[in-house]
Structure 1
Amino acid sequence: MRISGLIWLFTLIGLGNCLEWDDVSDLRDADGIIEVTESNYRKLSQGSRNFYSILYVTTSQVTSGGVYCELCDIFEGNVRKASNAMQQQLPEDVNREAVFFKLDVSQCSSFVKEIGLQTIPHMLIYPPPKDEDSFAWSKSVFYQFQITPESAKDPVLFADFLAKILNVYFGVARDFDKEEFFQYFIASLACFFVLKKKILPLIPNKAWFFSLLFSLGVVLASVTGLKFTQINNIPLLAKDEKGNIMFFSGGMGWQFGIEIFSVSTMYIAMGSSVIALIFIPRVKQLNPFLSNAVSLALLALGFYVFAYFTSCFKVKDPGYPFAIL
C-alpha cells in the first residue's frame, strides 16, 4: 500500500509539472496572446508541454534617459497579426500546437534575472520539449527571430519565419504604405504617358506588334521556369533576414518567381542587342561614324548583360564553369 501511495504521489507531482492547452486557453486575450505576469510566470514558464511557446519579450517602461521603445510597439503589431491569422485560418487542432505569450519585463522581472537579458525586444520560440526533458524558458533551447527596424516594418517576414518552424501555412497582410503607393503610382503614370504619347505613334501595325509581344512573353515564361514555380508552389518574392528582396536563390533545384522576370529581361536585352547589331548597318539615315558608335554601344551592352547573367548563374551554381564532377 505504501508503494502504491508513493507511485500515486509522484504521478500527481509529474502531472502538476505538465502544462496542457486547457490550462492556458482561458488566459488568452482577443488576439490569442497570454499576458505573462509575476503571479503566473512560474506556472507558464516551467513544466513539460506539447505545444510551441511563442514568447514575445517587450517593455512598456521608459528608460532612465527618457527613451521609449517604439520598436516594441511596432513589432507587437506583427505578433498580434500572426496570432490572429493563425486563429482564423488554421484548424483548432493546429492552433493547439502553438501558444503566444507576451512578457513585459517592466511588469515581470523574473525572466530578466534568470536569463540575463541586456536588450529589448526579443522574439523567442520554444519547441515542445521531450518527455524526459526539464523545460523552462530560462534554460531551454529556442529559435530566435531577429527584430530590427527593417524586419519590424514587414509582418510577412515574421509570419514566414514562424510558419517554417511550425510547418504550417497562413497569410498575413501588410499595412497600406501611402508613400510606396504614390511612388509606384507616379512611376506607372510616367510609363503610361511615354508609352501612349511617344512609343505607340511610332508603331504602324499595332495588332501585329502586340501579338508579337504576347507570343514572346509566352515563350519567355515557358523557357525561364514559370510552370516549375507553379507546380512547386514557389513564392514570387522572398526576403532575407535584412528585409531585402532575394532575386536569385542558391542551388539549381530551387528558384523564386522573380527569377522568371529577371532572366526574361536579360534574354530580351541580349537578344535585342544582337538583332540591333544586324540591322544597324542597313539604316541608311545613319552616317558611318554614328553607325559605328551605336554598334559599339550595342556590343558593349550585350557583353555587359551576358557577364551579369553569368554572375547571376553563379549564385545558382557557385562552381560554374569549373564544377567538380
Structure 2
Amino acid sequence: MKLFNLLVSFLCMVTSASCGAADTDKFERYRSLSRSAPIELTDSSYEDITSKPRDYHVAVLLTAADARYGCILCREFQPEWELIARSWNKGSKPDGLQMLFGTLDFSDGKGTFQKLMLQTAPVLLVFPPTVGPFAKIDDAPLRFDFSGPISAEQLYTWMNRQLPEGPKPPLVRPINYMRLVSGITILMGAVTLFTVLSPYVLPIVRNRNLWAAFSLIAILLFTSGHMFNHIRKVPYVAGDGRGGISYFAGGFSNQFGMETQIVAAIYAVLSFATIALAMKVPRIADNKAQQVAVIIWGSVLLGMYSFLLSVFKTKNGGYPFFLPPF
C-alpha cells in the first residue's frame, strides 16, 4: 500500500512537471513570435494560446481591420495596439509576470467571433493565468469594449489596473521626427517673419489708442449682455402682440439681441460724451466754442442717460424714477 502511494505521488509530480514545462514551452514559443508586434492569431491559435492551464496573461484584440468591413475605429487603433505590445515586450517586467499580446482579425477568426457572439469590434479580452503565483480563482477573461476613439495611454492604464501590483513597463512612443522637423521649421519661419515685420507691426501693437479702442469695444459688448445672448440663444426681436415689434424684453432675466445692441450703443455714446467733456473740451482755446461744446456734450449726456433710464423702466415697470426728456 505504501509503495502504491509513493508511485501515485511520483506520477503526479511527473505530470505536474511535464505540464509546467509544456506551459513554459508554449509561452516561449508565442513570445518568440511577438518581439515587436502582437501575434497574428487564427481560430486554432486563439484556442491554443488561451487554453488552460496557463501561467501567463493573454491580451487579445478582436478586430476587423480589413477595409471591406468598414471598421474605421479598428484601423485607427491598430497602431496604438502595436505600440502597447512593443512597449511591454521591450520593457522590464517584475519577475514571474508574463504576458502575451495577440490580434485576432475577423477574417481569420470568424468561428471565435461567432462563439463569443460578438456583434461589434474592436473588443479587448484579457485572460488571467490559471496557475502560478498570479493565478486567479475567477479565470474568466476581462473585457474592454470600445465606445469610441481611444489612445494607447488610456487602454494601457486600464490594463495595468487589471494586472498584479508592481512596476510595469512604461508606454514609450517613438520620436516623431517629422513632427519635430515641422515644428522647428514653423518656429524658424515665425521668428524670421517677426524679425522682418517687427518694424511695421510693433508700432501698431504698441499703439495705446488701438488697445484702448479694443478694450472699450470689449467692455461695451460684455456689459451689454453679449455673452448672455450666446448662452441663452435669445431671439433678435419679438412681436408685441399688437402687430408691432418689441425691442426690449420685460424683466431682468430676459433680453433680445437687438436690445443688447441698443444698450451697447447707449453706453458707447455716454462714454464718448464723458471722454469729450473730460479731455477734448478743455483743450478748446475759444471760450465761446468751448461753451457751445459743453452744452452740446452735456445735452447728449443728459439725453442718453434719460433714454437709458426709460429703458430700465421698461424692463422694470415698478421703477418710480425718470429723467426728462424721456
Question: What interval of TM-score do these two structures reach, taking the shorter chain for normalisation?
Answer: 0.3 to 0.5
TM-score normalised to the size of structure 1? Answer: 0.46
- Structure with max Cα Rg: 2
TM-score normalised to the size of structure 2? Answer: 0.45
